[in-house]
Amino acid sequence: MRRLRRAHQKHAREQAKRRKKFKQRALAVGTAAAITLGTAAGLSKALAHTPDPHELPVSQDADADLLTDTEEVTLGYCPFNPDQNRNEIPDGVDLAKRCSTAIEQLPWQNEADPEETYKWWAPQYGLHTCDICGATMAMGSGGVVNPRLGISVDFPFRLTLHFMEHGSFSYLGYYGTEPVEGRVDIPLLVQALELSLPFDPNAHQLPVAKDADADLLANKEEFAIGYQPFDDDQNKNEIPDGVELAKRSAEVIDQLPQIGPEDPPPNGTYKVEHQARGNENCCICGIPINMGTMEIINPPLGLRVEFPILSLHYMGHGSFSYDGTTNTGRTNVPLLLRTLELRFPYYPDDHQLPVDGNDLDGDLLTNGEELAAGYNLYDPDQDQDLTPDGIELARQCGEVIDALPVHDPYDGNPAPEQTYKINCFLKGLEQCGICGAMRNMGSWLVVNPKIELSIRVPDIVCHYIEHGSFSYAGDVHGRGRIDVPLLVKILEMPRRCGDLGTIYLPGDLNQDCEVNFKDFAEFTDKWLDSNDPNQNASGKP
């Protein structure tokens, strides 16, 4: 019953042997590049750490950093580098202490605000005794709950925190003579605490030649897919466009149906994995991956694209380039996106119903709607923020409708001079045909007194508009689509700076609808930048 304790006693004398084996293993699997980039230094620095007896070892831990190889891969760590942030503390010990500090700073359940992550503990009669130092602590289950993400992690609260404070996610104690031992679900705990990695998680994001905005998409690739080669973050979400698009591509590929090479092909897009007899290793994290290829086939378009399976690993980390011990190169980005019928990295919503009519640019606005409302029927992303125009316009209209003042025509007060809405709700509910949400079966009457026009917007339509769709499906109003040009006219879109269709002054470089010193700062920031996308800011290739 004292298995972990006996393993700990052997740990110190086995460390040197394991480090030596790690170096040999790293060379054998082709991770020499990782060692050159700092793994060797990490090993040397790990030796400087003075182990705490509470740091219980784990099995299948190639770099002896007290995180299993599986845990490291799940977390995004490198299983062959024990000290990725080079602070002379093994990664598992470092992370355990960071989690302990984060938990200590959390509010208790009865003190937390709605949606705020909290800790809880249900104390019980009795004491747990630490098997390492003999310390005693009150029994009872507890854990961490992240309501916003819907994550809950449970563990013997005081005993587990005692070991985490000492740098171990494993714990070993006793209740009387009964042993209490286990290990926290580390990836789930880190996710619940929303901890950032203590090292650069973007090592897989390999730089690209001739990339003017350094967003990991080459200039020619951006031109080919309709992106902006001088804007590294078109949707302003603080993620480089190439990184976001690569990760989105990996997710779409993961959801494709997979068939065998001899199976009859389906009608829609599918994938075929051509495995080879052997593995290669990622030159960044060292994990083994089959050296074969993945083929994506789109029968309706007659397109196919093939790339190493290793490329999927890199796409998942945000890079279309890949570097392995067998395959090194870059996936054909324009061909891949066209085959996947993917351009934007946004996450589609099932509520975004296809339009019944011609939609030349595929932005969920029909050609007639775009012409009538004054939008460009050939450009699916007029404001270049990587969200299809129809989805963006619907959400913006939803925000405007929600913010309109409510007028009661029977209370004796005069109607507002600006656009307003009248509550026409009924005694009954309507169910969404997509998510099952229940909305009032009535509607809002949206009135624009200046142009003497109004439109009735059922509450179920408001639900769909919030999700980015002007089409709707409910069990009362059935399937249909609101009159988009009329709604846009009544709401006077674009209503606010930044709404789709906003016309900016020539000097409004930062597009905040004002020309001031902030625009001058934007101008000076780009001073001396080359107009040639094949050159960098200094004018050199």
At 4-16, the pLDDT tens digits run 434 434 443 443 3
Rounded percentage of the chain residues whose pLDDT exceeds 90? 63
Q: Report pLDDT digits (tens) over 427-468.
A: 999 999 999 999 999 999 999 999 999 999 999 999 999 999
- The per-residue pLDDT for range 510-526, each reduced to its tens digit, is 788 888 888 788 788 77
**Contact by Cβ (8 Å): 110, 128:** no
Region 55-80: what's the mean pLDDT? 88
Interval 528-535 mean pLDDT: 60
Q: Which of 71-75, 196-200, 211-215 has the lowest mean pLDDT?
A: 196-200
Strand order in the sheet with 270-274: 258-259, 270-274, 293-298, 303-308
292's CB contacts (< 8 A; 6+ apart) are: 273, 274, 275, 276, 308, 309
Strands 258-259 and 270-274: parallel
CB 203 within 8 A of CB 39: no
Task: Kindly give the residue spans of alpha helices, DSSP state H, lying in 415-528.
Answer: 459-466, 484-491, 517-525
Q: Backbone phi, then psi, for 225, in 5-degree steps?
A: -105, 5
Pair 231, 240: CB distance under 8 Å: no
432 backbone dihedrals φ, ψ, rounded to 5°: -70, 135
| Residue 14, pLDDT score | 45
Tell me the three state secondary structure of residue 523: helix
CA atoms within 13 A on the CB side of 324: 23
Residue-level pLDDT at 42: 36
Burial class (CB in 10 A: 0-12, 13-18, 19+), 51: middle
CA atoms within 13 A on the CB side of 267: 0
Average pLDDT of the residues of the chain: 86
The token pair at 30 is 């082709």
pLDDT at position 309 is 97
Contact predicate 489/500, CB 8 Å: no
Count CA atoms within 13 Å of residue 350 on its CB side. Answer: 6
- Tens digit of each residue's pLDDT (9 = 90 or more) over 366-400: 999 999 999 998 999 898 888 999 999 999 999 99
Tens of pLDDT, residues 261-311:
788 889 999 999 999 999 998 887 778 899 999 999 999 999 999 999 999
- 437, 409 Cβ separation under 8 angstroms: no
396-416 pLDDT per residue, tens: 999 999 999 999 999 989 999
For 75, phi then psi, to 5°, come to -75, -20
pLDDT at 77: 79
CA distance 364 to 344: 13
Which residue bears the tokens 């005694």?
427
Output the CA torsion sign for 245, 250, 254, 256. positive
The H-or-E segment that residue 305 falls in is: strand 303-308
> In 3-state terms, what secondary structure has residue 368?
helix
Is pLDDT at 26 greater than 60 in this prediction?
no
Residue 303 phi/psi, 5-degree rounding, is: -120, 150
Q: Is residue 453 classed as helix, strand or coil in its secondary structure?
A: strand
> Which residue stretches of 155-234 are H helix?
157-165, 186-193, 219-225
Rounded to 5 degrees, φ, ψ at 350 are -60, -20
